[in-house]
Chain A
Amino acid sequence: MLKLSLPLRLQLSLVIVVGAALLKHHAWYCLAAYGAIALLWAGLLRVPILKLGGLLGTELIFLSLLALPLGWERASFLLVRSLICLIAMNSFLLTLPPHSFGIALKSLPVPAPLKENLLLAGQYMEILLSEVTRMQRSAQLRGLNGTAGWLRYASASMIGALYLRSLDRAERVYAAMVTRGYNGQLPIDSAFRPKERFVLLTAWTIAACLTLTSYRI
């Protein structure tokens, strides 16, 4: 795997996403260039292809539902552009060491409360998923068959119960974090070194040139 710091990996992924998102409509050549960069990025990060493929497939199904009613011409560009953005961000997420998203997040120039909320939401997502698994298991033990069976019986009370169970655990986790010295800020500093700054500046410049070119063609 490429030896890059987490903040730099996040920022480089964002360069591809923001650059591609701002492209002019139907600028296919520039989009192809971003596509090549995104694939190169995925290769450099050595993302597991099967996992990436599965994730992209699921996400593209949802995107197709939105885009296809707009007609093939418009939808095809939107879908390809979304695919490129998804390759870049999923490659970053799938090669992220566990529990290190916060370190990468710290380098983003966004207000501190938003970062804290993003970090907590990310952490509590794991809690939420583990509570869903537990509730599914207990439902199956009571005779409901499989995930589909459980979902068929899911009601507002079950959603409420899931929220409360997760909240109880989230409060315990947060209390443990505070006891260990958490004050809303991560203790690890994620400032860029001069070499990393240069790499980032170069990446932003290339992206800006590519995106602006799409408006000139």
Chain B
Amino acid sequence: MHIPDGFVSPPVAAAAGLVSAAALFVAFRRSQEAFGIRRAPILGLTTAFIFAAQMINFPVAGGTSGHLLGGTLAAIVLGSPWAGTLSIATVLIIQAVLFADGGITALGANILNMAVIGVWVGWGLTQTLQRLFGGSKGRLPFAAGIAAGVSVVVAAIACAIELALSGTAPVAIVLPAMSGVHILIAIGEGLITGGVLNYLSTARPDLLPGEQHEFRGWSIPVVSIFLIAGVLSLFASAWPDGLEKVAQNAGFINLADRVRVIVPTPLANYGIEGLGTIGTSIAGLIGAAVCFAVAFGIAKVVKPKDA
């Protein structure tokens, strides 16, 4: 995911550099306690550890390889996403300046993708999932494993958007390619992060954060989800998706109409018959509610009995 020199245009590189510089400035301020006598070795060693881990590439399908990003792992071990940002940014600076892994002109974009987006998505999702699983410390590796995997995919999407904005490749090509490969890398990231945290929780539980309160702050995420599903869905593109477009061009779109057994779907085409655009909004709200209920049910099932 390290963007080399020449892949991002100067405006995108400058904008990403500014955002990264601002994030690092805040990170320096907010992680002062990470430099005390007690914490400094943990920060230094975690940085060295992530650097070493990123040197070991594991093979991924399609002739590509991936490596640990380590943002979620760093943030959890250091107990702060700010310190995690600092740690990953240091790794990226060493790699760019000393080893030409990731370009110097693309350093801002790389820091933004991996040290800011990767770390914060992983950290935020770990917190949310752990609370959703009942707040138990024993569930931390599981929650962090899932969050680490998701953070890799989100960082890859951010990288794809930057490449598309730079005009390096069309978004329709670079976005599926980047997210597709990184879904496979995410599995490795999730397994390593979860496995290492599982070991650490047994051997040195003092290094990891304690029990979390059960998730009670429902309002903000729930309102956000329902706003997206209910309001933003009205502005969704009416153009056909990739498969539909191919089917239209190739002339096999009508094959679907010849299916003899028709399964009744109440919310077909994300709408309700006769309700127009409001139907899309209602369908979105119903869909979000069903997804939420299913996720909540799974969380309740996997939650430990003592939580």
Binding site for B on A (CB under 8 A): 14, 17-18, 21-22, 25, 59, 62-63, 65-67, 74, 77-78, 81-82, 85-86, 89, 93, 111, 113-114, 116-125, 127-129, 155-157, 159-161, 163-164, 166-167, 170-171, 173-175, 178, 184
Contact = CB atoms under 8 A, between A and B. Distances in A.
A174 B40 contact: yes
24 contacts: A17-B100, A17-B104, A63-B101, A78-B5, A78-B6, A111-B24, A114-B90, A117-B87, A119-B44, A120-B44, A124-B45, A124-B48, A127-B48, A156-B196, A159-B192, A159-B195, A159-B199, A160-B195, A160-B200, A163-B49, A166-B45, A173-B41, A174-B40, A174-B44
Contact of A164 (B40, B86, B194, B204): B204
Number of contact residues on B: which range applies?
35 or more
Given A89-B99, A116-B40, A128-B48, 16 more contacts: A17-B100, A22-B105, A59-B100, A62-B57, A62-B101, A78-B6, A113-B28, A117-B86, A117-B90, A118-B94, A120-B43, A125-B51, A128-B45, A164-B204, A173-B41, A175-B37
A87 to B, nearest CB: 10
A121 B90 contact: yes
Contact of A161 (B5, B65, B203): B203
B103 interface: yes
B5 A81 contact: yes
Interface string B187-212: 00001101110111001100000000
A188 to B, nearest CB: 19
Contact of A118 (B90, B191, B194): B90
Nearest to A158: B199
The binding surface of chain A is classed by DSSP as: helix
Nearest to A172: B41
A159 B196 contact: yes
Nearest to A88: B100
Contact of A67 (B4, B105, B199): B4
A89 B97 contact: yes
A127 B99 CA distance: 20
B100 A82 contact: yes
A157 B204 CA distance: 12
A160 B191 CA distance: 13
Interface string B3-28: 01110000000000000000010001
B48 A157 contact: no
Given A117-B90, A163-B49, A156 B194 contact: yes
B78 to A, nearest CB: 11
Contact of A170 (B45, B191, B199): B45
Interface string B156-193: 00000000000000000000000000000000000110
Nearest to B43: A117
A163 B200 contact: yes
Contacts of B52: 125, 128-129
